[in-house]
Amino acid sequence: MECRSFLFSRFVMCACAHSMDYSVFMPLADPRFRRLFVAQVVALIGTGLLTVALGLAAFDIAGDRAGAVLGTALAIKMIAYVAVSPVASALGARLSRKTVLVAADVVRAAVALVLPFVDRPWQIFALVFVLQAASATFTPAFQSIIPTVLRDEPSYTRALSLSRLAYDLESIVSPLMAAVLLSVVSFHALFVGTALGFVASMILVVTTDLPATTPSDDGSFRTRVTAGVREFATRPSLRGIAAMNLVVAAVTSVVVVDTVVHARERLGGSAGSVALLLGCFGGGSIVVALSLPRLLTRISDRSVMLAGCCGASIVTASTAVFSVVATPGPAAWIWIGVLWVAAGACASAIGTPTARVIRRSAGTDGLPPLFTAQFSLSHACFLLTYPIAGWVGAGLGQQTSTTVLAVLATLGTIAASKLWRSEKQRGPGKGGGHDGVGELGVSESRSRSESGSRPIGVRQ
């Protein structure tokens, strides 16, 4: 097992080094983005510590029912993400984005400090809902600020790669940090670490000079709640992204839910092998994220994202085959390791450019509803795919659940290619809801963006 771990680690490290585009760090030269990026990182680490602490708290309260408690808490998290995000965005439409971010961090820090004192499962559920509702408010607002700080597309693309890198590295760093802290303190201290992360994020946001934005006062509350989703329904590129969300959810659910089953039960590996395979997924994602700033100067967003969708569908189907024919041995470990690297690469190829497409679809003041809609729609897909991966897998076997997810990924890929057609497919003069993000080159897309698209909800 140690030999396999070493070989996989070397493979991922070499791939990352080969693909490294050091210009990806150039946005950090901007002091405003640098502060926001650090705020994102410390908040992510705080959230990672919270994940570990919640698991331990659930075991402390519920014992052998901890899995059910934690599973319910995660379901509540997804429901909050889907349902609360558009409502919170509409409620905060008349506030500055800095105010929204600070308020969300205050709520998250307060909840994290209260969590160590709970002693009933329902208390965990209630506090998790409040915490995740605040996160569902914070994340889209944060995402909509970055394009106002980095207005040129190359810098924004590099910023997206840095953001993806932060998410992937957090999944590795936070558990390690939690393990170190747990060696000297009780798990209750992890909640304090979580609160400190949110407080640090709040301070960094408060001390950052953000560009002025015009709060929206257009339409009724119901209109503001549904603004982003309605825009997704009318623009071809955004309809394509909505379909791609299903592909990402399908392949990610296979990795998140089934890794432990494949590593421990099917291949007889140790607990470390689970972390190793998850590291392969993260490594593949990092490789692509670091490569995209250069790649997207030559290839359109649509082509890269559809290639990721095709790859994700193939990976998911291949995993279904693996579930049937794999037997313990070095070949099986190499097979699933390569599949997990490819899964991470495909998920990153789809997810990282998404914000570029959204950015081109609205003016600066129209971005929050779009990012909110994407946040809700993407997590709604996970509400479908996680139960399929978990419950169908437990009841009918991993091969059945993975086959169902492969079918969903394939359908999502086909739908995305049909809903978001290239310029050549639409033909000149056909219109078709063209929104400037088909097969356009980077320079043309940027000029369209800088010319000022019509903000969402602004009537002409």
More confident residue, 18 or 262: 262
> Under a CB-based contact definition with an 8 Å cutoff, are residues 62 and 183 in contact?
no
Give the per-residue pLDDT at 242.
95
The tokens of 238 are what?
Answer: 């955004």
Domains of the chain: 27-152+171-211 (1.20.1250.20), 220-421 (1.20.1250.20)
The stretch 1-12 carries a mean pLDDT of 46
**CA–CA distance, 409 with 346 (Å, rounded to integer):** 12
**CA–CA distance, 164 with 170 (Å, rounded to integer):** 10
Q: Percent of the chain having pLDDT more than 70?
A: 82
Least confident window among 109-118, 122-131, 271-280, 344-353: 271-280
> Under a CB-based contact definition with an 8 Å cutoff, are residues 52 and 175 in contact?
yes
> Under a CB-based contact definition with an 8 Å cutoff, are residues 61 and 121 in contact?
yes
pLDDT, tens digit, for every residue of 371-430? 889 989 999 999 899 888 888 888 888 899 999 999 999 999 999 999 998 755 555 444
In the numeric block, the tokens 């940090």 are attached to 177
> Under a CB-based contact definition with an 8 Å cutoff, are residues 118 and 127 in contact?
yes
The rounded mean pLDDT for the chain is: 82
The tokens of 379 are what?
Answer: 């997590």
Least confident window among 1-10, 30-39, 334-343, 403-412: 1-10
The residue count for the chain: 460
The tokens of 454 are what?
Answer: 């019509």
Give the per-residue pLDDT at 148.
86
Split at pLDDT 50, 70, 90, the class of 299 is: very high
pTM of the model: 0.80
Q: What angle do CA 388, 391, 393 make, to 5 degrees?
A: 75
φ/ψ bin of 427: left (φ > 0), alpha (ψ from -120 to 50), beta (otherwise): left
The SS3 assignment for 454 reads coil
**CA–CA distance, 2 with 6 (Å, rounded to integer):** 6
Nearest by Cα to 285 from 420, 170, 142: 170
Give the per-residue pLDDT at 215.
60
CA end-to-end span of the chain, whole Å? Answer: 64
**CA–CA distance, 399 with 412 (Å, rounded to integer):** 20
**CA–CA distance, 49 with 170 (Å, rounded to integer):** 10
> Under a CB-based contact definition with an 8 Å cutoff, are residues 130 and 107 in contact?
yes
Could you write out the DSSP letters of every residue in 166-228? HHHHHHHHHHHHHHHHHTTS-THHHHHHHHHHHHHHHHHHHTS-PPP------S-HHHHHHHH
pLDDT, tens digit, for every residue of 228-251? 888 899 999 999 999 999 999 999
Q: How many CA atoms lie within 13 A of 448 on its CB side?
A: 18
